[in-house]
Amino acid sequence: MRTKLKLTVYLIAGLLFGLTANAQKTVIKKEALPGNAQTFLKTHFGSKKPSYILEDKEILSTEYKVQFDNKIEIEFDKKGNWKEVDAKTGKVPKSIIPKKIASYIKSNFPKEDVTKIEIESSGYETKLTNGLELKFNMKGDFIKIDK
């Protein structure tokens, strides 16, 4: 009985390793991004040229990562919808931040800028220059502060 259990565990582990080992990251040109991603970049970053664009293909998903010289990094899903904008030490362009969230931050943290914004299934998560992480629902209503 133990032998069958071990064999099953090894088989599952091998399959999982095989699936993840099949992931491929390749450098692509801006024109190879999905249309939504191209529009997003043009709208919020104008004619700035990315330092690189990666396509990360896995068996069940594809993601794109775009990085600019100023270290701003943007992640897109397979359809080209943005998932995360991380400005590292800079600030996220205000045009990306939903108006209701921007208004809340301006009212409650007037001296802070957003350094990262992420959209998740439950809503938005933002990180401010002071290190606070704020969570909002999909409508942009404030939920809580994480630290």
CA dist 67 and 61 (Å) reads 20
Report how far residue 68's alpha carbon sits from residue 48's, in angstroms, rounded to the nearest whole number.
8
Q: What is the pLDDT at residue 129?
A: 93
Mean pLDDT, range 88-98, rounded to an integer: 91
110 band by pLDDT with thresholds 50, 70 and 90: very high
Q: 66: closest CA among 147, 56, 134, 122?
A: 56
pLDDT, tens digit (0-9, with 9 covering 90-100), for 113-143: 999 999 998 999 999 999 999 999 999 999 9
Q: Is the pLDDT of residue 2 over 70?
A: no
Check residue 15 and give its pLDDT. Answer: 54
Q: Which domains does the chain have, with CATH numbers?
A: 24-86 (3.40.1420.30), 91-146 (3.40.1420.30)
Summarize pLDDT for 39-88 with one digit per residue, the tens. Answer: 999 999 987 889 999 998 887 888 999 998 878 999 999 999 999 999 98
CA dihedral sign of residues 134, 140, 142, 143:
negative
Q: What is the pLDDT of residue 17?
A: 55
pLDDT of residue 6: 61
Q: What amino acid occupies position 115? A: T
pLDDT for 79 equals 94
Flag whether pLDDT at 13 surpasses 60.
Answer: no
Q: What is the pLDDT of residue 37?
A: 94
Average pLDDT for residues 19-41, to the nearest whole number? 81
| CA distance from start to end of the chain | 47
Q: For position 26, what pLDDT does the model report? A: 84
